[in-house]
Structure 1
């Protein structure tokens, strides 16, 4: 459903900051924009010829917004159009970007909890933001997206999967889950351990779950041995 630019946690620099995208012709939908993302966008030529850029932000930790300013600047000055940013809190995102010198006239901002877009290339897509448990210092969201008649849940950074998401997944109303997954398991962890993911997802549904935001402590083999998929960077085997 989506492709990945990076799949690592903040400190797992080998895998790059977790970010995903959908591209069709001159339209690009980007999920999160951490510190390593703009460089990877340039290296992979993903921004070449883009006329419609949409950026979904789950929260404002650096590994999710670290190169958001660069990406907006590039879109505004080089591609000659304003990207559309989807984020739940106007004050937080505008305050962050203003401090970087990114003024509000350089982008369009949508802070609705439920978004419906009809793009000439991507077609119609819908986003419903869902508050998640991560940290108490900033607003953090995952989201449900409907795209090409498929529905997926993207956790962002989260240490749990709420019961409504799980129920809808078990009923087949959500086709796929992309879940923040780590190796460390301890009380107060801001991310979801593989152990807890195994407890949450029945074995018969694990082939529809893609693990992302991987830390250095989770073994890829352990993820696959437990029946889950690894989110992989576009082009990787």
Structure 2
């Protein structure tokens, strides 16, 4: 878990540094230079603008459709994350036994702990880094979305439903936090209290992620908050459609074994 957190923090730092190399108030065009502008910000700005023009310059609807498109592209990674998370939850009792067996902090014991842990992961097809993949991929997309919104005048000047896309809204952050919490809660559904106690990081993320996203959304343009709301709502539907059949299949397999 610590390695995954450090990896995510390190990647965020690299992406933030890359994003910081360009001015947010500098308009993005097809003549903008730099890897960040040419391969991240401008393509996303162009896609949002092109989609909006197809629907009568409705930039809010365009952001909704582009968000769904991005989530569909990331769907294989998210499914892999769900499967890895479910497998990790299933092996928690065995993992706890190994930790208790090698509780000593000397180098030799810790080496044995890591060896048996990796053997347990391989035996059950668990990839501890699989949960990082969607986060790693989404970081540059999220920052590019922010730049595309801030540096494309047409987006900031249009409204959608009750809010102005370029200004802060006070309802969307609440919705973003609520859907984030719901998605995390659904992912934890079906796990026992013992399993949850063995994975305190999941319980921590259940409450931390909604708060972080909700608070951040209060300081960003509502277009970015709209991206969060639609993306998290998509994740709720995805979790229900993917996780429930997986649980039913496992329950059926367990019944056949009996």
**TM-score bracket for the superposition, by shorter chain length:** under 0.3
- The normalised TM-score by structure 1 is 0.25
TM-score by length of 2: 0.24
Structure number with higher strand proportion: 1
Structure with higher helix content: 2
State the structure with bigger RCO (CA 8 A, min sep 6), 1 or 2. 2
